[in-house]
Structure 1
Amino acid sequence: MTIPVFDGHNDFLLRMSAHPQRDKLWLEGDGKGQLDLPRMRAGGFVGGFFAIYIPSPRADMPALDMDAMLTSPSYTMPLPPPLELDYAQAIAVQQAGHLLAMERLAPGDFSIIRSTTDLHAALSAGRIAGIMHMEGAEAIDTDLDALYAFHAMGLRSLGPVWSRPTAFGHGVPFAYPSTPDTGPGLTDAGKRLVKACNDLKIMLDLSHLNEAGFNDVAALSNAPLVATHSNAHAVTPSARNLTDRQLGMIRDSGGMVGLNYATAFLGTGSRAGVGWEQMLRHLDHLISVLGEDHIGLGSDFDGAQVPDVLSDVAGMPAFFDQMRQHGYDAALIEKISHKNWLGLLERTWGA
């Protein structure tokens, strides 16, 4: 029996935006990347957060040798500058349209989810449940008018920053070794954004946010604290990973952390050298601090290099086999694979 997978984060919409045959990519795949409808079905993928992510213009991207950087004893990746609102909004609307098209093209297989009622209806009908998420709020103006427009389109989850600074706060750089304490907290606009998201029942995602911003959200928000795709700093001291103090605050709020499969946040070395051992080591630590009810999956599929042993979403049954061999029982695997995310969404959105 295939174990259902509910995933905290993917970047399939970004991949769609660069593809010349988007409809075919979604419905049939192209033999590349990590997600498409056939492989989701093969891997037991029943739902998750589909990220709207705005790439920086090519002219703003520093020239980097990623493989050399990630295999070095230490690194800090220079960040591109903040984005212009008009540029970000145009791409965000395009990617939101891709998600809407996925539902139109495969109405029997995929539904955009706006409530827990929608969520349970889709799962009961065997349709993949897709949640519109925004990774970095560059497409939202400081008056927050666009927030309400995207909410009407289906936005139900938002991270105030990707690592670039925004009008709302500051992200952590891609740095190793480093703490997440890398700069100031939320701006006044960021504090207004937290309140508006709480009012609209838009889940706030703390992945990529620096420690001061994390603290501000924790102080202001009335919702569970969530990091959709982050790992344990105690295991791999990347700025992108969460300290035990942060994990404790997430646990105490009734929140969640999704295990990120990106090799850069699981360990050091090449993709081929990071595998099940590192993934399970992070899971062990996250469970030891968060408890069994606050841990899930946050793959970062189509947005990161994942271990070769996993490869793509169709490899998820092999990951669950590794969990069994590691000593996790069926009840814990079910919590990690999907049940904890479903409970979190009910606590955030309401029953």
Structure 2
Amino acid sequence: MPPFSDTPVFDGHNDVLLRLRRSKKEDPAKAFLNGDDEGHIDLPRAREAGFAGGLCALYIPSPSREKDADGNFPTPAQPEALNETMAMAHLLFDIERRSGGDVTVCRTGADLRRAIAEGSFAAVFHIEGAEAIDNDLDALYVLHQAGLRTLGPVWSRPNAFAFGVPFRFPSGPDIGPGLTDAGKALIRACNELKIMVDLSHMNEKGFWDIAAISDAPLVASHSNAHALCHHSRNATDRQLDAIGETGGLIGINFGVLFLNRDGIKDTSVGVGPMLDHIDYVANRIGIDHIALGSDFDGTTIPAVMKDCRGVRLIIDGLKARGYDDEAIAKVTHENWLRVLGTSWGE
């Protein structure tokens, strides 16, 4: 296949596997490969958009949407989480197997660059919330052998490893305790295996615990600037500075709840707030530390974007704001490729 685009977009987070799993389609892999016009991503729309791949999350929803007294979602039990993780991993590999080379599960930086150059959708096996992994970490090592290359220890709920930051506005991320002893062991094991640790959904104490332990770049795959939107999910200036100092990056989340200054789910905002967050982070820590982390199929995006084809609006917006081709390439894909390569020891 030809390359996706002269300006391909590699994205830091999507939930397409969960969408397909929840859809109860008879053949979800076929729906992704042939296109189903549901949600935000399928292969035909990705190719049309120059959307060349990204971190494909294996996320296990909470058993219910009922929060506890502290506003936390319930945590799924480890056996059920492991079963669901294996089912979504199977779906990812089934999509790759049946794609005829049009989808590649990438395990190295070379895999990523080759897939994008050849026009194959470059998927990275990512876990969001480590409930599938027990304290002994045996599953981590097996999943790594299967292709796991990035992991967020928590979603926005507590688990055995850390305390995920609850969804609150207005609020800072300093909510709850830091890493448990098992969480510290998990981070050390990820460093050993060269699995990138994702700090999105981590509360502030957990963030700084990881910063003290990890020898890899600090990465928040789908978060925004707290200075512009005072949501607990967004990164403070001090956190942004630490990300920049370690050579890491933050991927801008397209979710309107994390973009809008007033914290409301207003889908009429357009792409201007995304560009504002990109400007802010670029000015604060440099263009080398900003990328995209859409959260496609996992959040409510500006209506004007519609689906993954809307990423071209961001590129047009960056050009209109005076970003040159080199800077745009960094934001759209090069920063992700560099940081993933570094995290994977390449």
- Could you say which TM-score interval applies, normalised by the shorter chain? over 0.9
Tell me, yes or no, if structure 1 residue 278 matches structure 2 residue 270. no
Counterpart CA distance in 1 for 2:22 and 2:269 is: 28
Return the offset for 1:82.
1.9
Residue in 2 aligned with 1:131?
A: 124
Gaps of 5+ in 2: none
Could you say which residue in structure 2 is the equivalent of 1:143? 136
Partner of 1:201: 194
Cα RMSD for the two superposed structures: 1.5
Contact 1:77 1:175 in 2 (8 A): no
The offset of 1:132, in angstroms, is: 0.3
Runs (5+) with no aligned partner, structure 1: 64-75
> What is the match of residue 72 of structure 2?
79
Counterparts of 2:321 and 2:114, CA distance in 1: 34
* 1:190-339 alignment runs, 5 A limit: 190-267=183-260, 268-339=263-334
Deviations 1:265-296 (A, max 9, x none): 00133433322221111111111112010110
Q: Which residue of 2 aligns with 1:9?
A: 13
In the alignment, is the contact (CA less than 8 A) between 1:295 and 1:340 conserved in 2?
yes
Equivalent AA in structure 1 for residue 20 of structure 2: M
Amino acid at match of 1:266: L
DSSP 3-state at the match of 2:287: coil
Structure 2 letter corresponding to 1:17: R
Match of 2:52 in 1: 46
**Which residue is 2:337 aligned to?**
342
Give the direction of change, closer, same or farther, for the CA distance of 1:152–1:262 in structure 2 (3 Å limit): same
Distance 2:237 2:100 in 1: 42
**Structure 2 residue aligned with 1:105:** 98
TM-score for the superposition, normalised by structure 1: 0.93
What CA distance in whole angstroms lies between the structure 1 residues aligned with 2:213 and 2:270?
A: 38
In 2, the alpha carbon distance for the partners of 1:183 and 1:16 equals 33
Deviation at 1:77, TM superposition (A): 9.2
* CA distance in 2 between partners of 1:181 and 1:274 (Å): 28
Which moves more between the two structures, 195-204 or 100-109? 100-109
Contact between 1:3 and 1:317, CA under 8 Å: does it hold in 2? no
Q: Distance in 1 between matches of 2:296 and 2:280?
A: 22
For residue 115 of structure 1, report the CA deviation from its aligned partner.
1.3
In structure 1, C-alpha distance between the alignment counterparts of 2:152 and 2:19, rounded to whole Å:
19
Structure 1 stretch 253-262 or stretch 15-24: which is displaced more?
15-24
Q: Matched residue of 1:46: which SS? A: strand
Post-superposition shift, 1:123? Answer: 2.5
> 1:302, 1:101 → 2: CA distance?
19
In structure 2, how many angstroms separate the alpha carbons of the residues matched to 1:94 and 1:270?
A: 32
Matched letter for residue 171 of structure 1: G
> In structure 2, the residue corresponding to 1:79 is in which secondary structure?
coil
Indicate how the Cα distance of structure 1 residues 77 and 100 shifts in structure 2: closer, same or farther if over 3 A, else same.
farther
Which runs of structure 1 show a deviation greater than 4 angstroms over 4 or more consecutive aligned residues?
none
